[in-house]
Structure 1
Amino acid sequence: MVAATSVALLTGCSTGSSEAEKTSTADAKVAPPTVLKAGTLTVCTGDTPPNIFYDENNELQGVEIDLAKALASELGLTTKLEEYAFSGLIPAMQAKQCDVIMGSLYIKPEREKIANFVPYLYSGTGVGVSKKNPGKITGFDESLCGAKVVAITGATGGNGAEELSKKCAADGKKPVELTLVDEGTAAVQQVINGQTEAFIDTSEIMSFYEKQSKGEFRMVGEPSDKIRIGAATLKQNTALNTALDDAFKTLVDSGEYRKVLDKWGVASNDITKTS
C-alpha cells in the first residue's frame, strides 16, 4: 500500500480569464444549450507546464491554450478560460462551470465513462530528480521502491506510483512513499529541497522544469506508458464533442495544428502520428 499525504487541495478554486478574436454570435457554429453561453467556448484548464503555464504578464499560455483558441475560432466562438486545480477539472465541468476541459487530461477508461474526448496530443510518464540524486533512481522502474515520491493530486503520476508500489511489495521490496500536491512547481521545489526524492508526471513537464531550474532538477530514464491527451466534454453533450472533433480535423488539414505544435516544440507529441 502507498503511504499518501494530500497537500493544500484547491479543488474548485478558479480564476476566470478570457480571450481570443472577437466574433459575432451569428458566425457561431454551435449555440446554447450545446455551449453554456452564446458566442463563447468556456474552457476548464489549469497550470500544467509546459502545456499550460503563466507568462510574465500572468496570462495563461502554452500549446493547449493555443489549441483551445484555435478550436473556438474554428467554431466561430471566443474563448473564456477558467482555471482549477487538476483534481477539480472534472467536477467543475460536471457542475457546468465550463463546456470543455483542456488541461493535460489523459484519456483513460474510467474517464471515458463520464466524458467524451477529442484526442489532440500524445504524452508519456517521466521521472524527475534533484541534481544531488546519487544515481539510485533510474526512471519509472523499481529503483523507486522505498523512495519518497511526489505527484500532482488526481494526475496519472500518482496512479502510476500506486501501481508501481504494489509491484515493489509483490517483489518483497519497500513500497513507494507518495505525497500529493496541487501544482508542479510545488512538487519540483520539494525535490530540489530534498523533501522528496522524485517527481512523477508527464515527460514534457519534466523537460520544462529541467530547463526552468537551470539544472537543479532533471529527468532520468526514458518516458514510459505513451498515452493520449484530449478535450473532454460531458457524456450527454454529443453535439459539442462532434463540433470539436470536426474543428480539430480542419486544423489538422489546414496545417494550423502542426504550426501550434512547432511553436511550442512538441511536434513529437503529434496525435496524428501512428508511431
Structure 2
Amino acid sequence: MKHFKNAARVAAITAVAAFGLTACVGGTETTSDPGATTAGLPQAIKDAGKLRIGLSPDFPPMEFRDSDKKLAGVDIDLQQKLGEVLGVQIEVVESPFDQLINSVQTGRVDMVMSGISDTVERQKTADFVDYFKSKGSLYTAGSRVGEFTKQSDICGKKLAVSGKTDYFEQVKTLSKTVCTDKGLPELGILPTDSGAAARLQIDQGRVDLAAQGGENLAYFEKTEPGKYAAVLDPLPAKPFGILVMKGETQLANAIKDAFTKIIDSGDYQKILDKWGVGYGAMAPEINGTK
C-alpha cells in the first residue's frame, strides 16, 4: 500500500529525547476530550497526571519506529486514545521485550502494552486486559513456500522463534505431536531474543522457518510483498493484553472501561483497519485466557 508509510508517519509519536528510553505521547492534548475524566484510576496515577506504559518497539505493525525513527503502530494509536479517554498524559517507557513484565513488577511502569499475549502462566504474576485477537503463524521465505504443504514437512527442518513468547512452547509441542511422536525427525528450534532476530535467521538462510504473530506478516506483506509467506496451520495464538500488576483491579477496570468507550466511538476499529489488522477486533476482557 503506497500510502502506508505516510500513514505511519502521521500516527507516529515523537520521543522527547533522541537518546532516552522514555517518550511522552500526546502531551497535554490527551486531556482535550471534554468527556475525559480520571475517575476510576488509582490515586497515584491521578496525582501524577500520567500513565506510564512499557513497550518494546520491534513488532510492526503493533509498535515500531518508522523511517523517521518515530514511534508508530496500532498500540501507539490506541495508547493515544486511551490517554484522551482517561484524561491523563501517556508516557512511553521503552524496554527489551524480555524485561517488560519485570518493569511492571518493579513499578517502573504502570502497565505494559506491547503485543504481549495473555497466558495462564503469566496470569500467576500479573493481570491482563485483553484487547486484540492475535493469530500466530509459521512462515518461511516467499521463494520456499512450496516446500511446506503438509504439517510433517516441518520435521527435520530448523525454525527460529523468540524464546520469550508463547510461540516458543507452541512449536516445541508441535515438534512432538507432528514429528517425534510419529517417529519423524524433530523440528530443530533456535530460540532468539526477539521476533526480529528470528526473522533475520531466515534472511541469512540459517533456518528454514520462523514463528511469529500474523500481524507481523500482514505488515511485511505491505512493505515487502512476497518476501515472506505464512505456511501450514495457524498457531493457537492467545489474545494480546495490557498487563498490569497482579491484583491491581482498579487500574484494570479503568482501562477496560476506557477501551469500551474507544470501541463505542468507532476509533478502535478505525485504528485496526488503518494498520491492516481489523480481524483482531474484540470486546475488552480481563484475564480472558483460561
Shorter-normalised TM-score: what interval?
0.7 to 0.9
**In the aligned structure 1, how far is the partner of 2:75 from the partner of 2:214?**
16
Distance in 2 between residues matched to 1:106 and 1:205, nearest whole Å: 14
2:103 to 89, 92, 98: 92
2:271 is the alignment partner of 1:260:
yes
The match for 2:50 is 40
State the distance in 1 between where 2:180 and 2:96 align. Answer: 31
With the length of structure 1 as denominator, give the TM-score of the two structures: 0.85
- C-alpha deviations, 1:244-267, integer Å up to 9, x for none? 011111111121211211221211
Tell me if 1:16 matches 2:26. Answer: no
What is the CA–CA distance in structure 2 between the aligned matches of 1:51 and 1:258, rounded to whole Å? 14
Shift of 1:31: 4.8
Letter in 1 for 2:163: T
Root-mean-square deviation (CA), in Å?
2.3
Q: What is the distance in 1 between the residues matched to 2:140 and 2:227?
A: 9
* CA distance in structure 1 between the partners assigned to 2:129 and 2:145 by the alignment: 42
- Structure 1 residue 216, shift from structure 2 partner: 2.6
**How big is the shift at 1:185?**
2.8
Take 2:122 and 2:145, find their aligned partners in 1: how far apart are those partners? 38
Unmatched 5+ stretches in structure 1: 1-13
Question: Structure 1: which amino acid aligns with 2:267?
Answer: E
Match of 2:140 in 1: 129
1:42·1:100 contact (CA, 8 Å) conserved in 2? Answer: yes
CA–CA distance in 1 between the matches of 2:218 and 2:270? 20
CA shift digits 1:189-210 (9 cap, x unpaired): 2102211111101111122234
- Secondary structure in structure 2 of the residue aligned to 1:220: strand
Displacement after TM superposition at 1:27 (Å): 5.4
Distance, in Å, in 1 between the alignment partners of 2:148 and 2:191 is 19
The 1:269/1:165 distance shift into structure 2, 3 A limit, reads same
| 1:1-275 map, 5 Å | 15-22=21-28, 28-29=38-39, 30-33=41-44, 35=45, 38-46=48-56, 47-133=58-144, 135-138=146-149, 141-167=151-177, 168-272=179-283
SS of residue in 2 equivalent to 1:127 = strand
Quick one: distance in 1 between partners of 2:223 and 2:138?
16
Query: d(CA) in 2 for partners of 1:17 and 1:207?
Result: 27
Give SS of 2:147's match.
coil
Determine the C-alpha separation between the residues in 2 that align with 1:132 and 1:231: 36
Shift in Å, 1:89? 1.2
For residue 98 of structure 1, give the secondary structure of its aligned residue in structure 2. coil
Distance 1:79 1:262 in 2: 23
Q: Are the equivalent residues in 2 in contact too, given 1:21–1:73 (CA < 8 A)?
A: no
Judging changes above 3 Å, is the alpha-carbon distance between structure 1 residues 132 and 260 closer, same or farther for their aligned structure 2 residues?
closer
* Alignment check: 8 A CA contact 2:118 2:241 kept: yes
Q: Identify, as 1 or 2, the structure richer in helix.
A: 2
Structure 2 gaps, min length 5: 1-19, 285-290
- What are the superposed Cα offsets for residues 217-259 of structure 1, whole Å, 9 maximum, x if unpaired? 2222353425311111111211111110111111111212112
**Secondary structure of the structure 1 residue equivalent to 2:153:** helix
Q: Which moved more, 1:178-187 or 1:165-174?
A: 178-187
How many residues align? The count is: 257
Structure 2: which amino acid aligns with 1:146? G
User: In the TM superposition, what is the alpha-carbon distance from 1:101 to its structure 2 partner?
Assistant: 0.9
Question: What whole-Å deviation, never above 9, does each CA across 1:135-185 have from its counterpart, x for those lacking one?
Answer: 33247x332222110111311221111111222211111122111222333
Identical aligned residues as a percent: 29
Classify the secondary structure of the residue corresponding to 2:24. strand
Tell me the SS of whatever aligns to 2:236.
strand
